[in-house]
């Protein structure tokens, strides 16, 4: 198959790679119809995560089931499926408690930016659509594999409620989906921290009522001014850096909760602020499988549409250009078609 291969920081190529195969009787092989580049893919691309050897990359995909193992019962060849980035068994105590990201058999999509990808525990992991969506809806459906449930997880974890004020720290695709999710959960005021005009535009379309183009102390002051010195009822931290986490806690009102989904890199929790103001912290890796029964019908009905985060579409062979565009912030999120 053709696949995107990460060789070293700043070095990705699209080359021939061994096709994935059925390794366990609960596996499925999916022919990818659309994949994409995630903000978290940029961590190894930028050298923040080690790259010890060449490997396929990409954990977001939708496509058609091409083969299933002998013990797969629900998923059938020919099914059009959403492939959640984290795979789960659906049987263990953590899955049964809704914490599918904590599954004892947790696995990750390894070749979403390729022609084929292997899904472990396919019956529990794959979300089967009744029919293949129109190609014009592929971007909205693809968002269900990671970025939309992750933004939703930030909003749920932060406790966004009807009539509340939410602040979203981060204007990447996850942060923008956090804005969309805060609106879905009924936030009356949504303050998005963004200095990029294109991302500000999407944030406004998704439901942001206020835009703050500042960072650090200036951002905190701006949010406090907008909220009459009170702060936010719920804060969505969608970046994963030390500065973003400090900002999140500083703009939270006493008793609020920070919902964090940014992959931590050099992050320290400001415990003194949390202690003084009784600010809670919840979140982490999104339990995508748990959210899909709620989110997917809304997406398929056109009621929930995160497709605007995909502002650049390229053929798979141009994946390196897609990485460069996202690294240089010329694109929010790149959709790749094999």
pLDDT digits (tens, 9 = 90+) for 29-43: 999 999 999 999 999
What is the model's pLDDT at position 219?
97
For 226-253, the pLDDT digits (tens) are: 999 999 999 999 999 999 999 999 999 9
Out of 245, 265, 283, a domain closes at: 283
* Confidence category of residue 265, pLDDT binned at 50, 70, 90: confident
pLDDT at position 289 over 90: yes
Beta bridge partners of residue 119, listed in sequence order: 28
Say which CATH number the domain at 85 has: 3.90.180.10
Out of 240, 263, 283, a domain closes at: 283
| Residues 135-162, mean pLDDT to the nearest whole number | 98
What is the model's pLDDT at position 159?
98
Q: Do 38 and 141 fall within a single domain?
A: yes
Tokens representing residue 55 in the block:
């490997």
Q: Do 23 and 114 fall within a single domain?
A: yes
* Confidence category of residue 266, pLDDT binned at 50, 70, 90: confident
Edge-to-edge strands of the sheet including 11-16?
11-16, 2-8, 55-56
- End-to-end CA gap in the chain: 10
Could you please report the per-residue DSSP string of 167-184?
EEE--SHHHHHHHHHHHH
| Residues 177-202, mean pLDDT to the nearest whole number | 98
| Residues 157-177, mean pLDDT to the nearest whole number | 98
| Residues 106-134, mean pLDDT to the nearest whole number | 98
Q: Do 6 and 139 fall within a single domain?
A: yes
Could you please report the per-residue DSSP string of 75-106?
--TT-EEEE-SEE--S-SHHHHTT-GGG-TT-
Angle between helices 147-158 and 173-184 (to 10 degrees): 50
Q: Do 152 and 168 fall within a single domain?
A: yes
Q: Do 262 and 316 fall within a single domain?
A: no
Which domain does 222 fall in, by range?
A: 148-283
| Residues 307-326, mean pLDDT to the nearest whole number | 98
Tell how strand 80-83 and strand 28-36 pair up. Answer: unpaired
Q: Do 158 and 272 fall within a single domain?
A: yes
Q: Do 127 and 176 fall within a single domain?
A: no
Q: Are 32 and 112 in contact (CB under 8 A)?
A: yes
What is the model's pLDDT at position 111?
97
Say which CATH number the domain at 242 has: 3.40.50.720
For 67-79, the pLDDT digits (tens) are: 999 999 999 999 9
Q: Do 141 and 153 fall within a single domain?
A: no
pLDDT at position 48 over 90: no
If 0-12 CB within 10 Å is exposed, 13-18 middle and 19+ buried, where does residue 73 land? exposed
Q: What are phi and psi of 178, to 5 degrees?
A: -65, -40
| Residues 267-290, mean pLDDT to the nearest whole number | 96
DSSP class of 26: T
Q: Do 41 and 126 fall within a single domain?
A: yes
* Confidence category of residue 210, pLDDT binned at 50, 70, 90: very high
pLDDT at position 16 over 90: yes
Q: Do 249 and 158 fall within a single domain?
A: yes
Q: Do 78 and 158 fall within a single domain?
A: no
Q: Do 235 and 116 fall within a single domain?
A: no
Out of 283, 298, 319, a domain closes at: 283
pLDDT at position 213 over 90: yes
Give the total number of structural domains in the chain: 2
């Amino acid at each position: 198959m053709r696949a995107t291969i990460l060789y070293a920081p700043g070095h990705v190529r699209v080359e021939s790679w061994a096709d994935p195969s059925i390794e366990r009787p609960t596996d499925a092989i999916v022919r990818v119809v659309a994949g994409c580049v995630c903000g978290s893919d940029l961590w190894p691309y930028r050298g923040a995560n080690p790259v010890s050897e060449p490997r396929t990359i990409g954990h977001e995909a939708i496509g058609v089931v091409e083969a299933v193992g002998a013990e797969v019962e629900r998923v059938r060849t020919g099914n059009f499926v959403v492939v959640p980035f984290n795979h789960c068994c659906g049987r263990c105590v953590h899955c049964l408690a809704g914490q599918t990201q904590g599954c004892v058999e947790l696995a990750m999509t390894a070749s979403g930016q390729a022609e084929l990808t292997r899904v472990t525990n396919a019956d529990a992991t794959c979300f089967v659509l009744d029919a293949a969506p129109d190609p014009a809806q592929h971007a909205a459906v693809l968002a269900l594999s990671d970025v939309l449930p992750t933004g939703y997880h930030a909003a749920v974890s932060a406790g966004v409620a009807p009539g509340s004020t939410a602040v979203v720290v981060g204007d990447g695709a996850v942060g923008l989906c956090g804005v969309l999710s805060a609106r879905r959960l009924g936030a009356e005021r949504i303050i998005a921290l963004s200095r990029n005009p294109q991302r500000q535009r999407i944030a406004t379309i998704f439901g942001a009522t206020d835009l703050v183009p500042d960072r650090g102390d200036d951002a905190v002051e701006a949010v406090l001014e907008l909220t009459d010195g009170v702060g936010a009822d719920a804060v969505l931290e969608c970046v994963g850096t030390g500065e973003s986490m400090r900002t999140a806690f500083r703009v939270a009102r006493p008793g609020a909760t920070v919902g964090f989904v940014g992959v931590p890199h050099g992050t320290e929790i400001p415990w003194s602020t949390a202690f003084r103001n009784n600010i809670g912290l919840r979140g982490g890796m999104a339990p995508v499988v748990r959210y899909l029964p709620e989110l997917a019908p809304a997406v398929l009905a056109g009621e929930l549409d995160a497709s605007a985060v995909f502002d650049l579409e390229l053929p798979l062979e141009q994946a390196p250009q897609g990485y460069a565009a996202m690294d240089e912030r010329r694109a929010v999120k790149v959709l790749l078609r094999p």
